[in-house]
Amino acid sequence: MQSRLTSRLTATVQRQGVGARGIAVGLALALLMAACATSVPPAPRRIPAPAVGEVSLIRSPIEPAQHQLLDIGVVIFHNLPDQFTLQNSTEINAGAFAEIRQNETQYLPYVLRNTLIDSNHWGAVRVLPESDPSVDLVITGTIVASDGLALEIEIRAFDSTGREWINKTYADITQSDDFPESSRFTASNRFDPVNFVDPFQDLYDQINNDLLSMRDSLSEQELINLHRVSQMVYATELSPESFVHILEEGPDRLLTVSSLPAGDDPMMRRVRDMQLRHHTFIDTVDQYYQSLFDEMRPVYATWRHYSRDQSLENQSAERQIYEGGVYGNAGNFLTLTQRYDRYRWAKIYEFEFAELASGFNNEIAPAILELNRNVHGLDGTMADQYAQWRKILRALFALEVEPSAGEN
């Protein structure tokens, strides 16, 4: 599939030709374009957040202390329409671009998850369909803009006490070095997942480093309290009436544990048992997102490579049309033919890019379907199954507690 995707552009270009009638029609179009270009500059672009630049991931050479090993849930992202999607969308291909953006909401969190694990600073890190009450730290994100040229994501992170760790927009701009020719994968140039580096890896490294800076600013006692609150938040999720009184809000409006149940408390033993079952389930959920990530990774890399080419082509075409209309001789025959030639090739490229979008979606459709298949006998999307599972655990906890309550 990779070779078919990457060869379409070349094949279509070879099929194109311009005859005398085409030049005549083209010149008419070019005249119209020139008339517009002489007075109308390109539309202003939205100013993105500053790029993170070159960032080195801070790794820990040894395993951190137990109180520093926070469990993290990276929730699948949301997205906003960006200029790239709007500029490249028509009634025909708008659905294809929207589908790619939706798939990105499940792919990009996994890049962040892998980065956090690679840093060796954290406990278990999982991608989840929604915020989870059993983890210490939750990360959410909104994709503001995404193509092969730029990525901009709003990231928010907060822990189980309610403390906000990050509320910031991260952006990165790729350079040509981020897309070496070897990243145009074909049948003879297969995707190498071991040596592949995400073009926007600096962005994810910066998020990890900011989280680490926040963690290191907290005292050992604050991190220990964070773990305790996480456990009691999950206990309250299972049985609010039994545990809600143990959590209280301090003067800083952060949750704290007012009193700890005894270590051999039968209710807490059941909570820990339920938490182990829940973690087994969300590990399974994370594995399904990993399968999607692995399936999507090579074709997505190819897609973003061409996406960057298209973005640069659009910018170049806009600039040359505008500058040619303002500073050049719009009536010059050579100027008109050159302008139309660029317009024609840009349209060919746009058409092929839309076809690549459709090919991308067709390629990963089976992986999306697999992600939403039944897990442990549950139905619906992954988010639906996750909600069903939490409901089942609450009901199971209530059933196990009632007999022991009667015995006492």
Alpha helices for 265-371 (secondary structure H): 266-327, 333-371
Q: Kind and range of the H or E element at 164? A: strand 164-173
Cβ atoms 285, 382 nearer than 8 A = yes
Q: How far apart are CA 156 and CA 252, in angstroms?
A: 19
pTM for this predicted structure: 0.74
pLDDT digit of tens for each residue in the chain (408 aa)? 444 433 443 343 344 344 444 433 343 334 334 444 444 444 455 667 899 999 999 999 999 999 999 999 999 999 886 544 444 444 445 566 777 788 899 999 999 999 999 999 999 999 999 999 999 999 999 999 988 889 999 999 999 999 999 999 999 999 888 877 666 666 677 777 778 899 999 999 999 999 999 999 999 999 999 999 999 999 998 888 888 789 999 889 999 998 877 777 888 888 888 888 889 888 888 988 888 888 888 888 878 887 787 777 766 666 665 555 544 554 555 554 455 455 444 444 454 445 555 554 555 555 555 555 555 556 677 778 778 878 877 787 777 665 544 444
Q: Residue 21's CB: how many other CB atoms inside 10 A?
A: 8
Bridge partners (DSSP) listed for residue 143? 79, 153
DSSP assignments along 128-154, one per residue: ESS--TTSSEEEEEEEEEESSSEEEEE
Q: How many CB atoms are located within 10 Å of the residue 345 CB?
A: 14
